[in-house]
Structure 1
Amino acid sequence: MNAQLLSTRPEVRRGSCGAAANPFEGQHRRRLLKADLLTVLFWASLAGAVALWLADGGAAGFSTPAGAFTALGIVAGLAGMDLVLLMLLLAARIPLIDRTVGHDRALEFHRKLGKPALYLLLAHGILIAIGYGMAEGLDPVSESAALWVLVPDMWLAYISMLLFIAVVVTSLVAVRRRFPHEFWYAVHLLTYAAVLTALPHQFSVGGLFAEGTWQRWYWLALCIATGAALLYYRVVQPLAATFRHQLTVKRVVQVSPGVVSIEMSGLRLDLLAGSGGRFFIWRFLAPGLWWHPHPFSLSAEPVQFDAAGQGVLRITVRNLGRGSAQLASLRPGTKVAVEGPYGLFSSAARSRRHVVMVGAGIGITPIRALLESTPFHPGNATVILRGHSESELYLGEEILELCRQRGATLFHLTGSRPAGVRTWLPENSARAGHRLASFDPKIAEADVYVCGPAAWAQNVLEDARAAGVREDQLHYERFDW
């Protein structure tokens, strides 16, 4: 059967949850306010960099043609460097950013800033070479060579530019898909080297950030704050979480062919409760595995065993490559390093009382954890699981039991998609004209969580938009990198 109703929505009487105020309205309003504040801070940092330069007499450079090229080059460099530091902050996994826009969207914006930052830095170098060359009677190439040889720290700026170019090129989707994630990740770390090699010439060449200027204090504060955020949230916090929870592999259980659940025991796991749907980065400290980070969501809420905080948590993974395939052979007792939780695929993104959760393949496992933890009244949740067959509806029995306990409606959609038709539905449902609203008529007033392969998920999201679901009600967890 392609579409199977596995639990019945109970009748909801007026005066209970049907007439209750929306408990997520305040949370949603605060999150939108924080998003607006972050946007203002973003533009203010760019405006501030240029305004401080003007306040320190930068406009005087426009009095001559050579000075105008030099001044434009300086403005381009200031804006480009400001964007680079903002990119680093977006990738620092700062909780305020993560819980406001989500990890995926923060990294998406991070990637979008890459090209503008590179173009501005290239313009900086070219315009400076033209301006200095005009003032000294040299062509831009000769002036660039002279700067390399004669000006202290300038050679570091050229190396920085080459590193930025390498980072942006390897970040292109068409390029990075040709290499393993580890190779791309290692190359991407060159961003830090690029920033470090760019800093010396900013403070030593031309007196732009001379002592006593507001510019100097602004850039020192921005650089120090960015470095501190990266160090704390990318290094200190993960180490602290690893020592705090002391996770070890308890057992590995096969769920279906190519899919295993990894159960881990640890301490103070109550601190991770309510993270259903959010993902962690796991490092299994075994030979050949310790250096490989795995971003997986919990597939069940942490369970506490005793008052001392001893408990167990679980992730469910599918063999999608050499790295994930090795996890099936993990031995009990293997130590685990953990970072997170990250992302906004959780109750923190809720804005409506009604909720619809749609999962496919291994994307079903975060849906299972979210179903367990997100609050809703009986009759106010619909769960849709999609797979080619029943065996691909991972953790289906657990989800069925949760739906029965919590009063959610569950659909199993199995079968192949119709050839030549862009849809997320199996063939019989698609031919019958079913849409997302066919499974939940109230979907326009619901938060919709979607988790699964990228192309399939985009089809679900398009269907949701067509049903009247607004963008702020759509919550999607990407699996690509």
Structure 2
Amino acid sequence: MTTLQERPAASRPGVRPGVLGRTGLYAVLLANAVVVTVFFVQAGFASNTLIVLGRLAGLYGALLMAFQLLLVARLPWFDRRIGMDRLTSWHRWTGFSVLWLLLAHVVFIVFGYAQSSSLDPVNQLVDLAETVEGVLRAITALAIIIVVGVVSARYARRRLAYETWHFIHLYTYVAVVLAFTHQVAAGTTFTSSSVARTYWYAVWGVALASVFAGRLVLPLWRNLRHRLRVTAVVPENDDVVSVYVTGRDLDRLPARAGQFFLWRFLTRDRWWQANPFSLSAAPDGRTLRLTVKRAGDGSAALRHLKAGTRVFAEGPYGAFTTLHRTRPDALLIAGGVGVTPIRALLEELHGHAVVIYRVATDRDAVLYDELRELALAKGAELHLVTGPPVPDRLAPRELARLVPDIADRDVYLCGPPPMMNAVLGSLRELGVPRTQTHFERFSLAG
């Protein structure tokens, strides 16, 4: 179906929100790396090169550890501009960098001191632990970080339940405290300068305060303010259910179409389990709606929720919003239940839109009637593409046929990972700039 409407002129934004967010994070990290280096140089160099390298590796490793906390603090300003999936990915790779830097710190320090003494490296490490304040705490912190690194490796992560992995991951905060107290007690950079020590307390204070505010204070405050409850549970088909949630002052909740929450439904058997589900309708200030496909015990249990059930929701999260638009027209591509944020975005979008909904069969097209009504009301084109995964029905040639001006549109994509990877490849072949391609993968950390 095609309906013509007047198209708004292309906007010419200044700095894109994503670029602004990334630049802000890089600037914070770079500025602190420069300050750390200056304090390190001012403290003077040891005569042994290995010890110098070890101390510098320890400083940069600790700085990256503080930066990691900022990445998972879920601060709204950064989350809206970068997205939790990218912040989580950066947190993961920063974590491995921390691990290697701290291992280098230990190796260089131990071999450096062993070079100046008659002890072998193992006995030198034991001697340092027994004679230098904070070294035993540092060894304990490193052991914890190694364990967390091992369980965070892709092979192990896929075999652990999220709750188990998360519980182990929480021990990182113990490692943070142990490593910090070791540094301020034994680090030459901080024992030789009260200014450097004050700066280091400030860096870690800001990092920990960010986590405390973003992960605890803000969610608690919002839930106390809005007092969310389930008002209705509506089956969409045998496997999919929509849950309607209401509360107080929802017009003041800064949620946008395309975003998601971490939902906890406070029933006796599920209160401890949080799941990321997108809004399947644009927030209207009165009701929030999520639409979920049964994929496990947690999502299956939503069908049996009772009206009045209390809800604890963390969020809204995600950069999959119209904030990042660069073009006046848009293409929305959904696969399966990935239609939920796409349907919400269509409700909020201005300008001409094309919607492609990819499913195996017609009966899998959840919310299709709503999409069709929205498309008619907004003058959008809607294409339902059905069939098995092979052959690929969203290959470059097919996409170009359905949307000839695809390179001139913003593209929003949500669906199963294999489909998303295939479509992203098609978009690259068709010359769609990366700045016009918007997608988000649900992944949690910390």
Bin for the TM-score computed over the shorter chain: over 0.9
CA distance in structure 2 between the aligned counterparts of 1:334 and 1:8, rounded to whole angstroms? 42
Is the contact between residue 454 and residue 480 of structure 1 (CA under 8 Å) also seen in structure 2?
no
The answer to whether 1:157 aligns with 2:138 is: yes
The answer to whether 1:399 aligns with 2:371 is: yes
- Residue matched to 1:386: 358
Query: For residues 25-64 of structure 1, what are the structure 2 equivalents within 5 Å?
Result: 25-26=12-13, 29=16, 31-57=18-44, 60-61=45-46, 64=47
CA distance in structure 1 between the aligned counterparts of 2:131 and 2:206, rounded to whole angstroms? 32
The answer to whether 1:236 aligns with 2:235 is: no
- Residue matched to 1:457: 420
- Residue matched to 1:176: 157
CA distance in structure 1 between the aligned counterparts of 2:377 and 2:133, rounded to whole angstroms? 70
Q: Please point out which of 408, 411, 414 is paired with 2:380.
A: 408
The answer to whether 1:344 aligns with 2:316 is: no
The answer to whether 1:466 aligns with 2:429 is: yes
- Residue matched to 1:439: 402
C-alpha spacing 1:138/1:22, structure 2 compared with 1 (3 Å): same
2:10 corresponds to which letter in structure 1?
A: N
CA distance in structure 2 between the aligned counterparts of 1:116 and 1:303, rounded to whole angstroms? 43
The alpha-carbon deviation at position 453 of structure 1 amounts to 0.8
- Residue matched to 2:244: 263
C-alpha spacing 1:205/1:75, structure 2 compared with 1 (3 Å): same
- Residue matched to 1:3: none
CA distance in structure 2 between the aligned counterparts of 1:269 and 1:303, rounded to whole angstroms? 8
The secondary structure found in structure 2 opposite 1:136 is coil
Query: For residues 290-305 of structure 1, what are the structure 2 equivalents within 5 Å?
Result: 290-304=271-285
Q: Please point out which of 170, 175, 178 is paired with 1:189.
A: 170
CA distance in structure 2 between the aligned counterparts of 1:373 and 1:187, rounded to whole angstroms? 40
CA RMSD of aligned residues (A): 1.8
The secondary structure found in structure 1 opposite 2:306 is coil
Q: Please point out which of 104, 107, 112 is paired with 2:93.
A: 112
- Residue matched to 1:365: 340
The alpha-carbon deviation at position 55 of structure 1 amounts to 2.3
Between Structure 1 and Structure 2, how many residues are aligned? 444
- Residue matched to 2:9: 21
Q: Please point out which of 332, 353, 365 is paired with 2:307.
A: 332
Q: Please point out which of 164, 181, 195 is paired with 1:214.
A: 195
2:2 corresponds to which letter in structure 1?
A: T
TM-score normalised by L of structure 2 = 0.95
Query: For residues 307-322 of structure 1, what are the structure 2 equivalents within 5 Å?
Result: 311-322=286-297
The alpha-carbon deviation at position 34 of structure 1 amounts to 4.1
Is the contact between residue 28 and residue 351 of structure 1 (CA under 8 Å) also seen in structure 2?
no
1:240-267 deviation line (CA, Å, top 9, x unaligned): 1111111111111110111100111211
- Residue matched to 1:475: 438
CA distance in structure 2 between the aligned counterparts of 1:335 and 1:131, rounded to whole angstroms? 59
1:135 corresponds to which letter in structure 2?
A: S
* Percent of residue pairs identical: 38
The secondary structure found in structure 2 opposite 1:382 is strand
1:475 corresponds to which letter in structure 2?
A: H
Q: Which runs of 5+ in 2 are unaligned?
A: none
CA distance in structure 2 between the aligned counterparts of 1:253 and 1:134, rounded to whole angstroms? 71
The secondary structure found in structure 2 opposite 1:385 is strand
The alpha-carbon deviation at position 211 of structure 1 amounts to 6.5
Q: Which runs of 5+ in 1 are unaligned?
A: 1-6, 305-310
CA distance in structure 2 between the aligned counterparts of 1:315 and 1:28, rounded to whole angstroms? 32
CA distance in structure 2 between the aligned counterparts of 1:21 and 1:320, rounded to whole angstroms? 43
TM-score normalised by L of structure 1 = 0.88
